[in-house]
Amino acid sequence: MSRAWKWLRYHGVSIWAALAIAYLLVPIALIAVFSFNDPEGKFNYIWNGFTTEHWTNIFGIEELTDAFLTSLRLAALSTIIATILGTMIALALVRHNFHGRRVANFLIVIPMATPEVVIGASLLSMFLIYGISLGFFSLLLAHVMFSISFVVIVVRSRLIGFDRRLEEAARDLGATPMTTFRTVTAPLLMPGIIGAALLAFALSIDDFVISNFTSGTTVTFPLYIFGAAQRGIPVEVYSVATLLFAVTVLAMIFVTWQQRRAEKLAEIRPDDEDETGLSALASGREPISSTGSAA
């Protein structure tokens, strides 16, 4: 008994964790499984039989495809804008000392601590008063806004772990500030920026609440799902969601791999003041300069 108890006391945490992971993954598995369902009525709630029809015909529903394409366009545009603006803020916050940094920090954190419904409602209030027509443009303004803070947080964490001696070394070797940025800073920061962009993209394509307030008659993927929910969600939605999941997973794996690579690159730093490290940089035999020239 005491041995069983000991075993349970040690492994209890792991068992609990396994159950929690299962809890997190069950709904995802269910969505993937139900994308192969052949439902009897309009509602895809009960398993009725296997079919691949909703995968082969994945873009067969015009409204769904349109909504999905709108979401992709919106997410792509808002990601580009938010990533550029957010990266610039992160650079300023980490690399420079200036007055008003507390205000800047506050301004970045506060949107993340505000319920989405309040953000959506306040944007709608402003659009109503100004008479700005709701649609793709108002959605874009909103999506960039809520993505910026997340980009700043991700890129900043990357910048903080950045070894600035690498840049100094490049400068010492006669690189202009612009060349240093292009061949040293940018390649090393890239994984962080890509990670941030991926997050912004995911946030945008997933957003329902703020879009619900600011979309007007424009329909995004989540808004389509919401509209369809009352009359029965077509199985193709499950297929598209599963596809989206698979693509995101692949992108995540790619980013992780890139990040590892960048960490390896950063490891060949001049540890001491001896010339071996610097000469490694100067001779360009390590990928820092090779990625730089490729960029």
Residues in 125-154 that interact with another protein by CB under 8 A:
125-126, 128-129, 141-142, 144-145, 148-149, 152-153
Report CA-CA distances (Å) from 154 to 164, 198, 249, 255, 267: 18, 11, 18, 13, 21
Pick the binder of another protein from 64, 93, 200, 235 (CB under 8 A).
93
Which range touches another protein (CB under 8 A), out of 85-93, 169-177, 184-192, 269-277? 85-93
Q: How many CA atoms lie within 13 A of 271 on its CB side?
A: 2
Cβ closer to another protein: 50 or 275? Answer: 50
Contacting residues for 213 by C-beta, under 8 A, at least 6 apart: 120, 121, 123, 124
Q: Which of 173, 128, 145 is nearest to 279 (CA)?
A: 173
Site mask, another protein, residues 10-49, x = CB under 8 A?
A: --xxx-xx--xx-xxxxxx-xx--x---------xxx---
Q: Which of 265, 259, 253, 249 is nearest to 191 (CA)?
A: 259
Binders of another protein among residues 44 to 73 (CB under 8 A) are 44-46
Cβ closer to another protein: 9 or 283? Answer: 9
The least CB distance from residue 58 to another protein, in Å, is 15
Report CA-CA distances (Å) from 157 to 128, 190, 237, 260: 38, 13, 36, 15
Q: Are 87 and 196 in contact (CB under 8 A)?
A: yes
Cβ closer to another protein: 125 or 279? Answer: 125
The least CB distance from residue 38 to another protein, in Å, is 15
Pick the binder of another protein from 2, 56, 97, 217 (CB under 8 A).
97
The least CB distance from residue 21 to another protein, in Å, is 5
Beta bridge partners of 50: 37
Site mask, another protein, residues 171-210, x = CB under 8 A?
A: -------------------------------x--xx-xx-
Cα maximum dimension of the chain: 75
Binders of another protein among residues 231 to 250 (CB under 8 A) are 233, 237-238, 241, 244-245, 248-249
Neighbours of 68 (CB within 10 A): 23
Pick the binder of another protein from 40, 48, 63, 95 (CB under 8 A).
95
Q: Buried (b) or exposed (e) across 81-97, using 16+ Cβ within 10 A?
A: bbbebbbebbbebeeee
The least CB distance from residue 16 to another protein, in Å, is 4
